[in-house]
Amino acid sequence: MNKFSFKIEQEIPGKLGRAGVITTPHGEIKTPAFVTVGTKATVKALTPEQVASVGAQVVLGNTYHLYLEPGAGVVEKAGGVGKFMNWSGPTMTDSGGFQVFSLGAAFGQKGVSKFATKQENSRGFTPEGPYADKNFFDSPLAKIDEDGVTFKSHIDGSEHRFTPESSIQIQQQLGADIIFAFDECTSPQASYEYQQEAMERTHAWAKRSLAEHKKNPNGQSLFGIVQGGRHQDLRQESARVIGGMDFAGFGIGGSFNKDDMDTAVGWVNQILPTEKPRHLLGIGAVEDLIGAVEQGCDTFDCVAPTRMARNGTLETVAGRLNILNAQYKTDFSPIEKDCGCYTCKNYTRAYLAHLFRSKEMLGATLASIHNLYFFINFVNQMREAILSNRFADFKQLWLNNKNRSL
């Protein structure tokens, strides 16, 4: 079994970004790397062989969902999430914190929770209102306290509880190579006072997560998570506190507004230990990935490629296209000229338009293959640009929306 390690191979001159290699018990991750999301031990619409064929290096499972279905004990008996889903490469699991947040603090907020449907929670909080009441996170589905969070399953309404200790125990059962400390993910709309309160709670939970992990390391590597919202002083304080703990690497939590994400990531990565890897949670737009890499992030996960694919939205170098638009019904060109994915080599836009209009399952598979290949290949190109000292030129070409292949 290989010991976890991180080696920096090349840095971007004058920037925080770098290319490197993370070594895990199930193989290497060449960074920067896009992490493919397999929420319920499956990358939706794809077999593990198809996931591997697009160049995916690592798959991330979701602790909240796997805890509810099929149960961490079942995954453990199968030999861990990798064996359970027939994926032989490196694996990650998140802590479940974001899903719990989406059931509580973000209940009813557009673009945050796919579980929440009400626009007003039991405290009368609305998405437009202030986060003045520290108990605003009371909702029909979740309640946070200093020790952990009590929540109701979105599946059947049954009540459950996560604490830092139980989150680590569940992730140990799931058996991923890289796991994350339990944290409280806040909304970017939250008040400064609440962001500070949640950050301090995250720090306390990080210590407890680390202590629980050390009882049974299980060959896994634990990453701590930096929070603090969009506030520079809080982000820097969180980076100092979490960066000073004995984690194998670090996750950078959300709560960014898109227009200040790069800056906020820079605040954090200027402080976090250089020699340890940094994972940016839940970021997937092309422009965001460029900024994240330049500011020193090594890995990132996002459901966007496969979620967009299932809705008929396809990524190209010129931007996104909706395959349901009428113009594609008789367009017999590939999704993307010169794309190396299986879909573009074998099928046309017209065929995909037919599949989606006919609601055929194959449409989601072929679209997901293309989108995942696009994201993974894009990040691989950034890695090669860093290794050959061409990152600045690469970035400029992409942002100018010209020929994006160097």
Q: Which residues are catalytic?
A: 94, 301
Q: Which of 386, 286, 398, 334 is nearest to 30 (CA)?
A: 386
Give 259-264's long-range contacts (Cβ < 8 A, gap of 24+): 260/230, 261/288, 261/291, 261/292, 262/288, 262/291, 262/292, 262/294, 262/295, 264/230, 264/232, 264/235
Contacts of 247 (CB under 8 A, 6+ apart): 181, 206, 210, 222, 223, 224, 276
Cα(156)–Cα(34) distance, integer angstroms: 33
HSE-CB at 116 with a 13 A cutoff on CA atoms is 29
Are 72 and 167 contacting, i.e. CB atoms less than 8 angstroms apart?
no
Burial 136-154 (b: 16+ CB within 10 A, else e): bbbbbbbbbeeebbbbbbb
